[in-house]
Amino acid sequence: MTTSDDTKKGLSRRSMFGAAAVAASAIPAFSAARAQGVRMTNAPLNSTSLDGLPGQGGNGPIRVLFISSYHPFDRENLFRTWDSFGKDITWTHVEHPAAEHFYDPALAADYDVFLSYDAFAGRKLGAPDANGRRQASYPPPSAKLQANMKKLMQNGDKGFIYFHHALASWVHSWPAGVNGSNAYVEMLGGAADWGLPLQNLRGKTYPNSGYRQGTEQFVSVVDKAHPITQGLGDGFPIIDETYLCPMFEDSVHCLTRTNFVPTEDKFRRSPNMSNVGAGHPPGSTMTSWVKTAENSPIVYIQHGHDNNAWSNPYWRTLMLNAIKWAASPESKTWAKANAKRIFV
């Protein structure tokens, strides 16, 4: 596929080119964090100053493609967060469905890291009915997209980071992989959908997932030697949305865990929570991990709902470390040495 410069610009919404602590132990950590300036209440949502930032889109050596879809988010502050990494990264934003073109290895050549925040990728919404409702359908990915994704993962020359609601993409319609489970879900290591049950996940059906916003947590570092956790110490406090959904601990290498234990009863108490499906099994406390898919390194970070997380310096350290690691030759060497076949 050949794409002109004008077409590439059209595909991108914002193209910026350029060169295990327990709950009790969390209490003093929250106090210390407040004293150090970590925002532990609602962080400001608006800002007009670019002072101190290295420039919109960044000018660093790591080329990042930031992918989003459907789920609304505070673009101003998340884009400012990426700009704050601008001495290390240069980033470009593209949305689904246009983003799917960039899984073509020829177009992917312009990027080092795919950074995905793309809930509900693959979902199609029909025309509004008489009540203004739009019915959703979940067609399978095209044969071309499946082939491109498989080839990109097999090439092993890109790093992939998925965070927060990216667990909710292609969870209903991606065909099964080598173990008979949804291959896209196996690629990430987990799945979520807050409105529908999840099927074809290792022979099980899970009730619809749960979310709980504004949850105070202490996140413990499990692997203190990994490059992604450097600078985080033993752990950090955060206020963020947390999930109750399937996560497959046997297929990932855990980096961090929350002291918030997700169980069904904790997701039914206020308007800031989803109505989790009855009978949902207890969830994992993992909040970040690394794994492999084919020959490629994969990172997942559950944190990152809004500016309460994005403005947290520990979250920024975690995310920037993840970007640097995913782009590094070391991550590619590790992935190829621990290759995991996913796609048929």
In SS3 terms, 212-239 reads as EEEEEEEEEECCCCCHHHCCCCCEEEEE
Alpha-carbon distance of 163 to 294, in angstroms, equals 20
- 89-139 confidence digits (pLDDT tens): 999 999 999 999 999 999 999 999 999 999 999 999 899 888 888 899 999
Q: What is the pLDDT of residue 82?
A: 97
**pLDDT band, residue 70 (cuts 50/70/90):** confident
| Residue 176 neighbours by CB under 8 Å, 6+ apart | 182, 183, 200, 344
Q: What is the pLDDT of residue 8?
A: 39
- 130-182 confidence digits (pLDDT tens): 888 889 999 999 999 999 999 999 999 999 999 999 999 999 999 999 999 99
Could you give the percent of the chain with pLDDT greater than 70?
84
Helix (H, G, I), strand (E, B) or coil at 331: helix
Q: Average the pLDDT over 287-314 and give the result.
A: 98
Q: Which of 85, 95, 102 is nearest to 3 (CA)?
A: 102
Q: What is the pLDDT of residue 149?
A: 98
**pLDDT band, residue 79 (cuts 50/70/90):** very high
CB burial readout 230-239, b (16+ within 10 A) else e: eebeebbbbb
At which residue do the structure tokens 């559950």 appear?
A: 302
CB atoms within 10 A of CB 47: 11
pTM of the model: 0.85
Q: Which of 186, 299, 195 is nearest to 250 (CA)?
A: 186
Annotate 15-73 with DSSP letters as a single string: E-------HHHHHHHHHHHHHTT---SPPP------TT---TT---SEEEEEEE-SS--
The pair of structure tokens assigned to 164 is 């927060």
The pair of structure tokens assigned to 6 is 């004008």
The pair of structure tokens assigned to 269 is 């108490």
Q: Is the dihedral of CA 317, 193, 12, 305 positive or negative?
A: negative
